[in-house]
Structure 1
Amino acid sequence: MDRSTFLILMSGTAVGIVLGAGVAAWAQNAVAENAVAGDAVTAEEPTVLDVVTVSATRQDTAEDRMPASVTILPPERISPAALDPGAEIMRQSPTGNFVDLSRAGEAYATMRGVASLGSPLNSLDNTVGFSVDGVPSSLAGFAPVLMDVQQVEVLHGPQGTAFGRNAMAGGINVVTMPADGFAESRIDLETGSDGYSLVQAMTAGWLMADVLAGRAVVRWQNYDGDISNVITGGTEGGVELGAGRASLRFTPDETLTIDITGGYSRDERDNPAYLLYETPDFPVSASDTESYGRREIGHGTLTIEKVLEDLTLTAITGLQNIDIQNDGDFSDTLLYSSYLGLPPILDFVPEALFTNPDQDKIATGETERIFFQEFRANAPDGAGLQWVVGANYFRSDYEIHRDMQTLLFAVLNGTVDNDIDSETWAGFADVTIPLFESWSLSGGIRIAHDSQHLVGRFRGNGYPGTEDSFDQDGEFSDDYVTGRIALARQWGERVMTYASVAWGYASGGFERLTPYAAEGAESVPFRPARAETVEIGAKLGLLDWLRLDLGLFHNDVTDGQLASFDPDTIQIFFANQDYRSYGFEASLLAEPVRGLTFRAGAGFTETRQGETTADSAAAGAAKGNKVPMVPTWTVNLALDYRMPLGFAGLPGAFVVGADYQYVGSRQTDAANSAKLDPYTIVNARAGWQGEHLGFYAFGRDMLDSRPISFAAPFRDGVTGVYVGRGRMVGLGMNVKW
């Protein structure tokens, strides 16, 4: 065992022991106090943690029996007031990070140090897969409006068998509430600072008794923004969204289930990009026009399940239509005056250079149509040998229109019209084989074929040094195999240990903007990336009400996809770069007394770039550098408590919740030009909940941390960043019947 592995093991063990011992001691005191006070929960009535079933692997599996690291988030952990569900998910997943580029459809996740080395190159260039009810989406549809969620499943490590390509860091599956006939209706209202408001309504029940069930939910939200604009005098960072989702379940008999789901969302934001981090009044925007971003997603899913005597057959058909518009001012006055060495006082900056609303503008429109079809067969529930075998087809038709007009850089002028059509055919299988009395061997494999076709069209606008027009037509295809193998041992009912090896894949293809077209040069396809992950872990049911999960991992990534740019010329570089990452994850779940739930997680990740090539060195990579936008440490703590007030002769219950999320320092780029400071998010909620009515107060980002999600160093002391919203406080109520 080398020194690094030893340190990782000792650190992970220490975190687990500290978390477990602390909660256990606190819980024992709480139970004793409740018993003395005559509370209904006594030492003779311990709580027992529920067993959570995970469906993301195409097999319904108890989470505590899965030989993998998994984070399960219940719906109360994804607050609508957060407005950024992707960030909420990743900050509560050990070793996870959410990177938001402040433009609609441009956000991605990192996990365990496996990440894009720069910004994603097209809508399919991600390392963390994302799906809703088993239907995959792309980066253009990542982190949509989440409504009526049953749970969010975050699987750590390569998920090539179930998710396929571009899930070599992990996978996220959102499970929505099914239309199961349970009758309920609910209205939620919230109002808060900076113009925040929410209206949401949901209803569900039988449409035809025991045959046809329905469920529907609608939401509207608004937020005015909290970033001052020193040029226009207004504020930026606002959000307005509307969304709806409806589902039907048809069950003509006990063996056949047909689910039909459809939904639509429209999310509009005016998030500013590239704010000057070093300005004394940060964050302020100095854009001469308000940025605008809009994403509309329409989706539909048909799922048919037939239960036979010896197997279960499932067919899933999914359709998505994603429409995105981003309009913005490229040259923030504060940023570019500092970058070019001009006086930082706005009155001395030539108005025609930075504050002309007709100059330095980029408008981008994107559409993506996604079709997904899967057929699979599963072993019957409870069978000694659990298996799944299937095949699926994924198609993405992506189009982008980009109109650029700037004074500063030649490559940011002209019009780009590109089409990228992508297809993936795949077959997969996964099996778990019992060995002896307490051992099991499991493994999965996926064999797939990718193809991608680019049609690129560039038209110049007369800017000196650029082409009048340039067209290109390119093809890329690849065959590959991903999979995993794991050996697990069950030590009684409460303890399981496992070791696994998994292989992941991130597809190659074409960069969506074809930035060399203005110079009359074709964009060559970037190579696919591959990852090999070794993991050992343990799932420890320390008590009926306390569970601790620990995992150690090591990733070797070959040909990680690297993108960078030269701020002096905005020249973009593409290359492939090897890197590795290693670390540990620890998570704890405790319910020491009925109504009280405590969650904790910690992750440590160390990354190192490997040997460079001439291309990757030109793009800023260097042996020994860290992978960008990967936090060294992540920590999350969450407490939810519900205390019935019957002992005081009052109806309902007092409810309180709080969570703490820490994201450690991250490097900004492959060259490690700058390091982002750690940040901490603290949220809280308290109120009263009755059978039909509830009231509460809430606070988001109580420390006003303003997380920085992405940064680009232009030169020493001049950094352009994308910043999140600050503190929000408000009141809410709900009505249920």
Structure 2
Amino acid sequence: MRFFLPLAVFMSLPAVVLAAEQEQGGLVLDDVTVSAHPREEHDREVAHTMSALDGEQLEAAGLQRSEDLQQRVPSLLVSMPNPRYASYGIRGLGASSANDGIDGSVGVYLDGVYLGRQGMSLFDLADIERVEVLRGPQGTLYGRSGTAGAINILTRRPTFDTEANGEVTMGEDGLREYRGSVSGPLLDGVLAGRLTGYDVARDGQIDNLYDGSHPGDRNRQGLRGQLSWVPSEVFSARLIGEYAWQDEQVALLAGGYSAPTRARAAYLGHRLLPLDPYARRVQSDQPSRIRTRQNGVTLELIRTLGNGASLTSITGYRDWRYDTGMDADGQGLSIAGVSAQLDHRQFSQELRLADSPNEHVDYVVGLYYLRQRLDRQIDNRFGEDAAAWFLGDRPEVAGLPPDMIPPSLLDGTRQAFDGGQRSDSRALFGQFTWHATDRLAITPGLRYTTERKRGWIARQVSALAPLPPGWQLGQELRDLALGDNDYRRNSIEEHNLSGRLAVAYRLQDGLLAYASWARGYKAGGINLDMVGEGVEPTFDAERATSLEIGLKSSFWRERVLFDLALYQTDVDGYQVLTNRPGDTELSPPIRDNLINVPEVRLRGVELDGLLRASPRIDLRLGLAWSEARYRDFANAPCAPGSVQQLCDLSGKRLFNAPQWSGTAGIDYRHPLEHGLELFTALDYSFRSGYSGTLEGGAGSYLPSYELTNLRLGLRRGDRRWEGELWVRNLFDQHYIGSVQALLADGDYAVLPGDARAMGVTLRGRY
């Protein structure tokens, strides 16, 4: 791997915000007060690895999407082929959400409310106070337990001082971004409000050779309104209402063709596009469009009790609608199309009591309840080329011309998959910290969780035309490719006890050493898909046990912050999505089934740091090395095209787990006359290659890549206004953002990352 930045760019800590002023005794860095723990405390005192990304810094760097966060947090991997398949991974742990029955290993929260589907986080990060990324198992401080970590997104609160800000961005490919917010008092000293909105659009970057259209566009809007009521010093209330909308035409590009696909295309005389996703070309005979809509209401109540304890209530309701119609084959042939509608609704209630009865003790205890309801409808429709396509590699029809295969074998037929899931989660959690001495703190925590899930799925086949005389193979094709009408209902109930123990010792001023043990839990669930042979309709819970030691230090008169963490996490029952081949040559070769990997081990080292080199220069760097492997996976699915069905992957590297990742940056400010300031920044991130699917077939590998972004601008010293020119992906690096398996055994589609783009951004503040 190569680095474009000089060696002087040597330390970064996203968990801190730089002080703007020079103090006596030299330049210093300010600690960040974080709320990752419900009792706010300084990041340097937390015996846990975390990154806190300041909202203003994210805005300045142009990192306004959830998938951009991985450019600042090396241990974080975000895959967003579309909202339904969105997934987060931390330290190599975190599978795809393509099966609707799976929960994320990484819990995502917005203003304290857990988002039940990871695609619900694909809103614009507008008017954000900060984003906190906690690594490792969570459960003794949050309402929802997690095995890999948590992402906590906090929006800016209403203010009692009038303020407003706006931002306009224009760039290549018709990029248009508008963001703004206004905040101020509605009733002096008692009631304040805040209104935030955004509108983001960009033209498509992909050429559809079939009809000349340009999918791959962006079209997202959102609105957030807040009220803050502070009638007294001991009580406050915050009400948040949100709306977000997305309507985009999407396209996935060919990343790998299976042998059956090549044979079928040759039989039909169809020319497959070359495997060059960076050419950004598809041939799709029907548009693929995704629409999502999200509404949310959050009510936060905080009461200070007579003894000084703080009681917090967070009530949240959200509904999320996903609606899509897509070309299932992407071949420019009328083979299959799919439409899907998901309707997710959730209600959550969390109560927390936090107190420090004396200087030696503080604690947090809480109750949590979450109810989720998912309804879905999926409709597969087959076209006039489907029968010839699926029979094209069969020896018994190889001598027939394609037009001799009756299209009516499959043309017009439908597979309707209806289903749903209801889930209830209840938990009691708490964490206690004993400050045994001025230097030693011991923190135990426990969590008890009850999970109940009930789900159902039905398959109904319709619109079958009469079989042509003499086509017995047609009935076999229908039976195996379409299946029979089917219905099943399943339920699970689980109880779990997990916990955490951490010991922190201040070796000297500015140097904290800590060690922690944590046990995380993620409930089992229901395969919300028709399962293949050897796959159970339900899957078991995922449990992660993590050991971690680390150092947090500040030195050189607090101008340097440096963190080092070493960890090992053993995961039992890792929940993964597997795309197994069909039971026969004619049956559907891809089934999105959930299974449990018996044992996985994650080991790694993480280094973060930050340097204020001078009043004008800030330097940062973060590095992460991960060794993630299957410890026990003797009956794993083999790569597509293998002679055997099952392979032993024990000892092999885990999928979606790059070995190396890092981020670095330099910010420079130069004062000018008349109160003006010139500024520039260079941001860099890299990630080594990794497999994007469990089976690891040809075409599912994501090569290593590096991204470099450059900014140059002019602003007033008080930042009332600023303008900047920017270039993202400065060196026009070709890279793949995500990969997924498609219709055939060994076919893969990939989503390429954004090409180099240039533009201008103007910001104003009042």
Q: TM-score, with normalisation over the residues of structure 1?
A: 0.86
1:51-93, CA deviations, whole angstroms, 9 ceiling, x for partnerless residues? 1112122221211111111111111443499687222212321
Q: Bigger shift: 680-689 or 454-463?
A: 454-463
Which amino acid in structure 2 is aligned with residue 59 of structure 1? R
Counterpart for residue 437 of structure 1: 438
Counterpart for residue 671 of structure 2: 644
What is the percent sequence identity of the aligned residues? 24
Counterpart for residue 312 of structure 1: 310
For the 8 Å contact 2:319–2:346, the answer to whether it is kept is yes
Q: Bigger shift: 317-326 or 632-641?
A: 632-641
Distance 1:414 1:523 in 2: 22
Shift of 1:593: 2.7
What are the equivalent positions in structure 2 for 1:335-414 lying under 5 Å apart? 354-356=332-334, 359-380=335-356, 383-406=359-382, 407=386, 414=415
Counterpart for residue 682 of structure 1: 708
1:664 matches 2:688 = yes
Shift of 1:662: 0.6
Structure 1 unmatched runs, 5+: 1-14, 25-39, 334-353
Counterpart for residue 266 of structure 1: 245
For the 8 Å contact 1:448–1:480, the answer to whether it is kept is yes
Shift of 1:533: 0.5
1:182-222, CA deviations, whole angstroms, 9 ceiling, x for partnerless residues? 32112211110001001122111111111111111111110
Distance 1:685 1:123 in 2: 42
For the 8 Å contact 1:225–1:725, the answer to whether it is kept is no
Shift of 1:399: 1.0
Distance 1:485 1:273 in 2: 45
- 1:540 pairs with one of 553, 559, 563: 553
For the 8 Å contact 2:66–2:124, the answer to whether it is kept is no
For the 8 Å contact 2:120–2:320, the answer to whether it is kept is yes
Which amino acid in structure 2 is aligned with residue 75 of structure 1? G
Counterpart for residue 153 of structure 1: 132
Counterpart for residue 89 of structure 1: 69
Shift of 1:526: 0.9
For the 8 Å contact 1:112–1:605, the answer to whether it is kept is yes
Distance 1:707 1:82 in 2: 19
For the 8 Å contact 2:237–2:302, the answer to whether it is kept is yes
Counterpart for residue 696 of structure 1: 724
Distance 2:7 2:499 in 1: 33
1:127 matches 2:105 = yes
Shift of 1:562: 2.5
Q: Bigger shift: 161-170 or 198-207?
A: 161-170
1:295 matches 2:321 = no
Counterpart for residue 558 of structure 1: 572
Counterpart for residue 739 of structure 2: 711
1:726 matches 2:727 = no
Counterpart for residue 109 of structure 1: 88
Q: Bigger shift: 240-249 or 155-164?
A: 155-164
For the 8 Å contact 1:95–1:631, the answer to whether it is kept is no
Shift of 1:180: 2.8
Counterpart for residue 486 of structure 2: 470
CA pair 600-170 structure 1, distance change in 2 beyond 3 A: same
Specify the SS of the correspondent of 1:235. Answer: coil
Distance 2:358 2:690 in 1: 45
Specify the SS of the correspondent of 1:140. Answer: helix
For the 8 Å contact 2:11–2:609, the answer to whether it is kept is no
1:279-320, CA deviations, whole angstroms, 9 ceiling, x for partnerless residues? 246332222223211221111100010112331111110111
CA pair 56-122 structure 1, distance change in 2 beyond 3 A: farther
Specify the SS of the correspondent of 2:173. Answer: helix
Distance 2:376 2:21 in 1: 60
Distance 2:637 2:84 in 1: 27
Specify the SS of the correspondent of 1:147. Answer: coil
Distance 2:97 2:303 in 1: 42
Specify the SS of the correspondent of 1:236. Answer: coil
Counterpart for residue 245 of structure 1: 224
1:48 matches 2:75 = no
CA pair 189-416 structure 1, distance change in 2 beyond 3 A: same
CA pair 21-719 structure 1, distance change in 2 beyond 3 A: closer
Q: Bigger shift: 623-632 or 683-692?
A: 683-692
Counterpart for residue 585 of structure 2: none
Distance 2:647 2:62 in 1: 35
What are the equivalent positions in structure 2 for 1:513-552 lying under 5 Å apart? 513-514=529-530, 524-543=537-556, 544-552=558-566
1:234-291, CA deviations, whole angstroms, 9 ceiling, x for partnerless residues? 2221010111111111011111111011111102222212423662463322222232
For the 8 Å contact 2:578–2:695, the answer to whether it is kept is no
Which amino acid in structure 1 is aligned with residue 680 of structure 2? V
CA pair 555-132 structure 1, distance change in 2 beyond 3 A: same
Distance 2:540 2:112 in 1: 27
Specify the SS of the correspondent of 1:78. Answer: helix
Q: CA RMSD in A?
A: 2.8
Q: TM-score, with normalisation over the residues of structure 2?
A: 0.83
Which amino acid in structure 2 is aligned with residue 398 of structure 1? L
User: How many residue pairs end up in the alignment?
Assistant: 675
1:413-445, CA deviations, whole angstroms, 9 ceiling, x for partnerless residues? 501111101110000001111123311101211
Counterpart for residue 332 of structure 1: 330
Q: Bigger shift: 203-212 or 584-593?
A: 584-593
Structure 2 unmatched runs, 5+: 13-19, 257-273, 391-409, 465-476, 583-588, 639-644
CA pair 708-269 structure 1, distance change in 2 beyond 3 A: same
Counterpart for residue 576 of structure 1: 596
CA pair 276-615 structure 1, distance change in 2 beyond 3 A: closer
For the 8 Å contact 2:173–2:204, the answer to whether it is kept is yes
Distance 1:593 1:382 in 2: 41
Shift of 1:148: 0.8
Distance 2:592 2:242 in 1: 37
Counterpart for residue 498 of structure 2: 482
Shift of 1:710: 2.5
Specify the SS of the correspondent of 1:56. Answer: coil
CA pair 63-418 structure 1, distance change in 2 beyond 3 A: same
Which amino acid in structure 2 is aligned with residue 507 of structure 1? A
1:279 matches 2:275 = yes
For the 8 Å contact 2:739–2:749, the answer to whether it is kept is yes
1:598 matches 2:619 = yes
CA pair 176-573 structure 1, distance change in 2 beyond 3 A: closer
What are the equivalent positions in structure 2 for 1:196-215 lying under 5 Å apart? 196-215=175-194
Distance 1:238 1:194 in 2: 9
Distance 1:364 1:681 in 2: 34
Distance 1:83 1:326 in 2: 27
Shift of 1:361: 0.6
For the 8 Å contact 2:97–2:104, the answer to whether it is kept is no
What are the equivalent positions in structure 2 for 1:194-233 lying under 5 Å apart? 194-233=173-212
Shift of 1:664: 1.0
Shift of 1:41: 8.3
For the 8 Å contact 1:574–1:619, the answer to whether it is kept is no
CA pair 20-43 structure 1, distance change in 2 beyond 3 A: farther
1:427 matches 2:428 = yes
Shift of 1:165: 5.0
Distance 1:536 1:522 in 2: 38
Which amino acid in structure 1 is aligned with residue 737 of structure 2? S
For the 8 Å contact 2:423–2:452, the answer to whether it is kept is yes
Shift of 1:400: 1.0
Specify the SS of the correspondent of 2:204. Answer: coil
